């Protein structure tokens, strides 16, 4: 069984379904779509010609071979053919429940018989930082991140649960309403950005931010 990947596609609002249809040609069939927004101001988006700050965030589960081929084609033959701006990147998955993994692997084998494989070695040059902060504090968190090298991010609304032990251990009172700021940065900027955000907006600060980082295998910019 090939290694499993999580493909993250952040595209303009309304284009998530079209991306899923495209992914179906690579036997990617299991997706989760969320609503997000970019952190750039509308004035900057207009200047850059990037359209709305409203985003579709599509999480797709895939086997390694078709995921690599899809990213390769998005960066080559399909470049400019996808009618949206945005970003697509893959993250390594260490585990997936058996029934899902078996069907994804079966679909991948079907795809290989008709298409062959595209070999792409992981680059790990980029990192995904997830900053989970109180709602209303994303602008401040993003401003700190940008001051230390980040270029932008995507915000997804969420809710924090299971924080009772953390609150008791450190005497905190954490609010459940949250926003997740997803920031893709070069690996060498990960430490400075996370240190700065933690110092200015960490759990004992008003934003009550929880931080983590994930290695990115491959990344393609659309548009």
90-138 per-position pLDDT tens digit: 999 887 787 778 888 888 887 777 675 555 555 668 999 999 999 999 9
For residue 48, the model assigns a pLDDT of 36
Residue 23 backbone dihedrals phi, psi, to 5 degrees = -65, -25
3-state secondary structure of 79: coil
Return the percentage of the chain with pLDDT > 90, whole number.
52
- Please list, residue by residue across 83-111, b when 16 or more beta carbons sit within 10 angstroms of its beta carbon and e when fewer do: ebbbbbbbeeeeebeeeebeebbebbeeb
pLDDT surpasses 80 at 22: yes
Which residues contact residue 55 at a Cβ distance below 8 angstroms, ignoring those fewer than 6 apart?
10, 11, 12, 13, 35, 36, 37, 38, 86, 154
Same fold, 4-120 and 126-219: yes
Confirm or reject CATH 3.30.70.120 for domain 126-219, answering yes or no: yes
Tens digits of residue pLDDT in 158-183: 988 888 888 899 899 999 999 999 99
For residue 46, the model assigns a pLDDT of 42
- Quickly list DSSP for 119-152: -------EEEEEEEEETT-HHHHHHHHHHTT---
Angle at Cα 52 formed by Cα 157 and Cα 9, nearest 5°? 60
Which helix (H) or strand (E) segment is 72 a member of? helix 64-74
Calculate the alpha carbon distances from 211 to 40, 170, 214 in Å: 21, 16, 11
Which residues contact residue 142 at a Cβ distance below 8 angstroms, ignoring those fewer than 6 apart?
39, 150, 152, 153, 181, 183
Tell me the whole-structure pTM to 2 decimals: 0.83
In the chain, domain spans: 4-120, 126-219
Q: How high is the mean pLDDT of the chain?
A: 86
Task: Decide the pairing of beta strands 218-222 and 86-92.
Answer: antiparallel
4-120 fold: Alpha-Beta Plaits (3.30.70)
């Amino acid at each position: 069984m090939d290694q499993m990947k999580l493909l993250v596609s952040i595209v303009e609002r309304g284009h998530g379904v079209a991306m899923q249809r495209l992914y179906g040609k690579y036997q990617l069939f299991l997706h989760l779509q969320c609503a997000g927004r970019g952190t750039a101001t509308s004035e900057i988006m207009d200047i850059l010609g990037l359209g709305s700050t409203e985003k579709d965030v599509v999480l797709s589960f895939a086997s390694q071979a078709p995921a690599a081929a899809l990213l390769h084609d998005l960066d080559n033959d399909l470049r400019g053919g996808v009618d949206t701006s945005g970003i697509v990147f893959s993250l390594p998955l260490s585990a997936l429940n058996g029934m899902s993994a078996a069907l994804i692997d079966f679909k991948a084998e079907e795809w290989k018989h008709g298409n062959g494989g595209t070999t792409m070695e992981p680059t790990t040059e980029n990192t995904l930082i997830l900053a989970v902060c109180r709602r209303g504090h994303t602008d401040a968190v993003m401003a700190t991140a940008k001051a230390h090298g980040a270029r932008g991010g995507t915000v997804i609304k969420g809710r924090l649960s299971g924080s009772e032990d953390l609150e008791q251990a450190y005497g905190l009172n954490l609010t459940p309403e949250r926003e997740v700021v997803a920031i893709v940065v070069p690996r060498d900027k990960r430490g400075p950005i996370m240190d700065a955000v933690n110092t200015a907006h960490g759990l004992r600060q008003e934003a009550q931010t929880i931080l983590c980082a994930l290695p990115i295998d491959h990344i393609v910019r659309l548009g």
